[in-house]
Structure formats: C-alpha cells, structure tokens
C-alpha cells in the first residue's frame, strides 16, 4: 500500500512540475509578446497585451482543471484498490471460518459403524409353489 502512495506522490509531483513549467513558459511568452507589440504599435499593444493575458489565464485554468482531474482519477483508483483488497481479506476470513467450523463439526460426530457395502440388487425369479401330492385312491 505504501508503494501505491509513493507512486501517486511521484505522479502528482511530475504533474505539478509540468504545470509550473507550462505556466512559466506562458508568462515569458506573454511578456515577450507585450514588449514586441509596444515597440511596433503602441496604441494597439495594450489590447494585444490584455488578449494575451486572457489567453494565458485561460490556459492556467485549464491546466489546474487537468491537475484536479488527474488527482481525482488517481485517488479513485487507490480507493477502489483499497476497497477490493479489503473485500478480498474479508472473503478470505469468512471462508477460513467456514472451513474451521466444518472441521469441528466433523470431529464432534461420534464414529458410526460402517454399513456393509451395498450390492446391486439381484433379480429374483418368482418361485412356483410345488404341486400338492395327491394320493391315488382307488
């Protein structure tokens, strides 16, 4: 379980680092665009600067949303894994109790006499009653 948390923390660190690098690159790009537009077209540069700021603010919100989504996914995966492990342990515990109970029940029974092995039934032919002997009278 500690391994999963360690992996999750690493994933979160990588995501955070990537987001920070993207945000920093976005800011540098916005500053470069702002400086370039001020040199060439001063009246419009303020509008371009505002537009660039809005674009990169939106990019920051998207990245933060992605970060939250990935964190939620990782959290859900971990919760499901933990839940599955708990269900497995509970099921194993129940099965172990049942086997132990069955063994105790078998041990408590008094030994019974073994019955003779049953043989397959043999068909018996109907016997005819012997004829009555009659004495000759005569």
pLDDT in tens, 68-105: 888 888 888 888 888 888 888 888 888 777 777 777 76
Flag whether 53 is in a domain. Answer: yes
Average pLDDT over the chain, rounded to an integer: 75
Flag whether 115 is in a domain. Answer: no
Distance CA 94, CA 131 (A): 72
pLDDT in tens, 52-69: 888 888 888 888 888 888
Site of tokens 């470069």: 32
Flag whether 121 is in a domain. Answer: no
Q: How many domains does the chain have?
A: 1
pLDDT in tens, 108-125: 655 565 555 556 665 666
Domain that holds residue 23: 2-108
Flag whether 68 is in a domain. Answer: yes
Q: What is the pTM of this model?
A: 0.39
Flag whether 118 is in a domain. Answer: no
pLDDT of res. 136: 60
Flag whether 27 is in a domain. Answer: yes
Flag whether 122 is in a domain. Answer: no
Distance CA 63, CA 53 (A): 15
Q: Is 37 within 8 Å of 48 (Cβ atoms)? A: yes
pLDDT in tens, 2-36: 777 887 788 888 888 888 888 888 788 778 777 77
For 25-29, which contacts have Cβ atoms below 8 Å and span 24 or more sequence positions? 26/56, 26/59, 26/60, 27/56, 29/56
Flag whether 132 is in a domain. Answer: no
Look up residue 57 and give its two tokens.
Answer: 């603010």
């Amino acid at each position: 379980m500690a391994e999963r948390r360690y992996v999750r923390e690493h994933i979160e660190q990588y995501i955070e680092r990537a987001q920070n690098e993207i945000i920093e690159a976005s800011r540098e790009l916005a500053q470069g665009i702002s400086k370039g537009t001020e040199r060439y077209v001063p009246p419009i540069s303020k509008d371009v600067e505002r537009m660039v700021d809005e674009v990169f603010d939106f990019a920051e919100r998207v990245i933060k949303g992605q970060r939250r989504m990935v964190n939620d996914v990782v959290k859900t995966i971990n919760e499901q894994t933990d839940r599955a492990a708990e269900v497995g342990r509970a099921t194993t515990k129940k099965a172990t109790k049942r086997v132990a109970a069955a063994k105790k029940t078998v041990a408590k029974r008094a030994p019974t006499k073994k019955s003779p092995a049953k043989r397959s039934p043999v068909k018996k032919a109907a016997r005819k009653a012997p004829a009555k002997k009659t004495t000759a009278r005569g």
